[in-house]
Structure 1
Amino acid sequence: MRPVMRHLPPSVVAAILLAASPALADAPKVVASIKPVHSLVAAVMEGVAEPALIVRGAASPHTYAMKPSDAKALAAADLVFWVGPELESFLDKPLKANAKKATSVELLEAPGVTLLDAREGGAWEAHDHGHKHDHGHAHGEGHGHEEVNTHVWLDPANARAMVAAIAEALSAKDPANAAAYTVNAGRTARSIDALDAELKAALAPVAGKPFVVFHDAYQYFEAHYGLNGVGAITVNPERRPSAKRLSEIRARITGLGAACVFAEPQFEPALVDTIVDGTRAKKGVLDPEGAELKDGPGLYPALMRGIAASLKDCLGS
């Protein structure tokens, strides 16, 4: 970078680099699987090109079915960013069949991403966040992906590591715009740091209060901010929980005095009504993927703020 540019704000540097680049029209065709991943990719690509998104709107990767337009996007793609087959299982075979020329980037494998073991059963011990696995390119010995929680973006430290991996993959595929990707990645990482500090302050007053979630999507968020999730209504959101599971969760709510039970916009809210009936727990909604948020670079911070606000509003009232 030229010496005079070191003294300019990052946004100005990015604008200069983008204006000077002759290769914007030749930017790679990029596809992202789910909205949080798409948001981070879009932030790194801002000003260069816009990535395509597969799982749109309120759809869930747990229940998604590929459309012909998705197959067409994969066939044209140069890069595909996804968490991995453990989360987006619907994408595993189409990537092999349709995205033959694309580089596939599994962000669960990104250097610096810390993984947490999936929790067993519907009721957990307080602050049971499993074992951490600092991830370079392999897990700890004997540790398979099927054993980990895949909602890695809900830890801001993981989001920063994902941004770095996204920028590296884009730069390798598109060296002409590498400087712009680097500047955008730096700006995005700094914004995640500021967001993290904001959320830590906001959530500190409710850190010890027990709550129940619809499914175990929030372990990374809980662990990072010291929150007290005590159970999930369902282990697999694609399957309705058994009567035994519902009875166990109700006992957990009563025994621990759980303050809130949280539904999700993508799944059946009537289950939450059944769970809280006859208890003192209140109902709330948490959204781990931004179902009702606008796609793009702003979705990730809005998603994280939305989860924090829902937790604070329900647990703090």
Structure 2
Amino acid sequence: MSRKLLPLSVTAILMGGTAMADVPNVAVDIAPVHSLVARVMEGVGTPDLIIQPGASPHEYSLRPSEAAALQNADLVFWIGEDLTPWMEGAVDTLAEGAAVTTLLETDGTTLLDFREDALFEAHDHGHDDHDEHGHDDHDHDAAKEASDHDHDHDEHDHDEHADGHDHDHEEHAEAEAHDHDHDHEEHAEADAHDHDHDDHAGHDHGEHDPHAWLSPTNASTWLNVIAAQLSAADPDNAGTYFANAAAARAEMEALSAEINSTLDPARGGSFIVFHDAYQYFEADFDFPASGAISLGDATDPSPARIAEIQGRIRDEGVDCVLAEPQYNPGIVATVLEGTEASTGVIDPLGAALEPGPALYPQLMRNMAATLADCL
């Protein structure tokens, strides 16, 4: 026996069972996913959490201990670069030899496209309006953009044709004034479009909304994926992993029933969220939001967007506006000015919860309770 294996053998004898070193080192990106992995590993081992609760996953600086957890990992579970674009490089560099599972790319995961507007329409909600990977809405948006582009092109061609005619001095002066106003309007529209594009860039994302853990349906799918990956790396404990996953899936069904019961008295109420992170929850529980103050996670909303949200709150009598722990409460206060809407704080990451197997179900219960209380 080699000297390298001797300490492991001694440890196994002292523990009277399987050596702890036989259990894979597991690193997980965010607390809700860490909770799912911890539930599957319960009784066998404990995964490492990379992004601490309360921190924004979109921008994060690794601590030395978190970098070490990635470097030592045999398995990595993460949502994907749509949520944590900075982490792809860290995983590639630090966890070079690890088996990496990108949950957004796993079979059976329901994906939704980003909603681009401040105000949401009824057809944006529910699984019937998208395929499993959400391309239909994206194609529709692309077609609309192409149509808008063609329309602008036609208008441009018309203007150029008009400029080709001879005019007398007076008509020419009027045309110049008109063109100046038209250019001014186009410039203002372009500025507004660019600003909206900047808001959109705040997602720092691909085409899909990455907040997919807020669907218990997705979470249930991932439990089996997690168990399979752990079992491949640690066959001796495969029975425990799959038994834990099966129990957790049953718990997820009960959790969904409980959340529906919590939300039932508040159905029909209308609410605005701080940023558009909740459509997976909305779709699973048929509980649609009316809009989002901020389109992206990394940018403040424009004054025009705030005015648009305020208009809906006043015109439609929106009942509730929800803040989040990670973001500026002053923006929510501004939105609430002159309205009678209630407010609350909703937390999609479990910032105030203890990481571990119990975090995910408690996170979902808290979200439902916050909505019900606010409405």
How high is the TM-score relative to the length of structure 1? 0.88
Distance 1:24 1:108 in 2: 30
- Aligned-residue offset at 1:50: 0.2
Tell me which amino acid in the other structure corresponds to 1:160: S
The reply to whether residue 192 of structure 1 matches residue 252 of structure 2 is yes
Corresponding residue of 1:151 = 211
Inter-partner Cα distance in structure 2 for 1:23 and 1:34:
28
Match of 1:295 among 334, 348, 355: 355
Q: Which stretches in structure 1 are left out of the alignment for 5+ residues?
A: 1-18
State the 1:254 CA deviation. 1.3
Opposite residue 331 of structure 2, the aligned amino acid is L
| Residue 131 (structure 2) aligned to one of 114, 130, 133 | 133
- Whether 1:220 and 2:280 are equivalent positions in the alignment is yes
**Cα drift, residue 21 of structure 1:** 6.4
Query: Deviations along 1:204-262, whole A, 9 cap, x unmatched?
Result: 22222111001111101111111130111111121111111111111111122110000
Q: Percent identity?
A: 48
Residues of 2 paired with 1:147 and 1:124: CA distance? Answer: 17
Q: Say yes or no: does 1:244 pair with 2:304.
A: yes
Letter in 1 for 2:40: V
Any residues of structure 2 matched to 1:12-31 within 5 Å, and which?
22=18, 24-31=20-27
**Aligned 8 A contact 1:21 1:176 in 2:** no
**Alignment partner of 1:163 is 2:223:** yes
Answer yes or no: is the 8 Å Cα contact 1:31–1:80 preserved in 2.
yes
Among candidates 89, 96, 104, match of residue 100 of structure 1:
96
- What amino acid is the match of 1:122? A
Residue 112 of structure 1 deviates from its aligned partner by 1.5
Question: What CA distance in whole angstroms lies between the structure 1 residues aligned with 2:320 and 2:271?
Answer: 5
- The CA RMSD measured in Å over matched residues stands at 2.0
| 1:66 to partner: Cα distance | 2.1
Question: Hey, which bits of structure 1, 4+ residues long, moved more than 4 A?
Answer: 139-145
1:202 aligns with 2:262: yes
* C-alpha separation in 1, matches of 2:374 and 2:43: 38
The residue number in structure 2 matching 1:67 is 63
User: Equivalent residue for 2:373?
Assistant: 313
CA distance in 2, matches of 1:140, 1:23: 47
Q: Which has the higher contact order (CA 8 A, sep 6+)?
A: 2
Query: Between Structure 1 and Structure 2, whose CA radius of gyration is higher?
Result: 2
Cα distance, 1:134–1:31 mapped onto 2, change above 3 Å: same
Does 2:330 align with 1:270?
Answer: yes
Structure 1 residues 118, 56: CA separation in 2 closer, same or farther (over 3 Å shift)? same
- Counterpart pick for 1:122 among 118, 124, 146: 118
Partner amino acid, structure 2, of 1:125: E
Partner of 1:5: none
> Do structure 1's residue 87 and structure 2's residue 87 form an aligned pair?
no
Q: Do residues 78 (structure 1) and 138 (structure 2) align?
A: no
The one-character-per-residue Cα deviations of 1:3-28 (angstroms, maximum 9, x if unpaired) are xxxxxxxxxxxxxxxx9963544100
In structure 2, distance between residues paired with 1:270 and 1:141: 37
Whether 1:211 and 2:209 are equivalent positions in the alignment is: no
SS of structure 2 residue aligned to 1:115: coil
SS of residue matched to 1:262: strand
Q: CA deviation at 1:30?
A: 0.1
- How far apart are the structure 2 equivalents of 1:208 and 1:109? 34
Distance 1:156 1:167 in 2: 17
User: Following the alignment from structure 2 to structure 1, what is the Cα–Cα distance between the partners of residues 288 and 70?
Assistant: 40
C-alpha distance in structure 2 between counterparts of 1:141 and 1:174, whole Å: 39
Q: Which has the higher strand share?
A: 1
Tell me the distance in 2 between the aligned counterparts of 1:153 and 1:20: 38
Q: Residue 259 of structure 1: which of 312, 319, 335 is its match?
A: 319
More helix by share: 2
Deviation of 1:177 after TM superposition, in Å, equals 0.9
**Paired residues of 2:114 and 2:207 also in contact (CA < 8 A):** yes
Residue 285 of structure 1 is matched in structure 2 by 345
- Label 1:24 to 1:68 Cα distance change in 2 as closer, same or farther (>3 A): closer
The secondary structure found in structure 2 opposite 1:114 is coil
Q: Distance in 2 between matches of 1:290 and 1:269?
A: 18
Q: Note if contact 2:214-2:364 (Cα within 8 Å) is conserved in structure 1.
A: yes
Q: Distance in 1 between matches of 2:17 and 2:305?
A: 57
Q: Counterpart amino acid of 1:118?
A: F
Q: Deviations over 1:28-75 (max 9, x none)?
A: 000000000000000000011100001113111023222222221111
